[in-house]
Structure 1
Amino acid sequence: MSEQWSEWLDFDRAHVEQVPEAAGAYTMHASMKMMHIGSSDNIRKSLIELLADPCANKAKRFHYMLTQSHAAVREQLLKDYVDKHQGKMPGCMEK
Structure 2
Amino acid sequence: MLIRMTRRVMYYNMWVPGHEGIQRNEATDELAKSAAEIPPIGPEPFCGLSKPHRRQELKRWEESSKKEYWRKTPGQRQAKKFIDYSPEKTKQPLVFSRDKL
Structure with greater helix share of residues = 2
Structure with greater strand share of residues = 1
Q: Same fold (TM over 0.5)?
A: no
Q: Which protein is bigger by CA-based radius of gyration?
A: 2
For CA contacts below 8 A with separation 6 or more, give which structure has more relative contact order: 1
What range describes the TM-score normalised by the shorter chain of this pair?
A: under 0.3
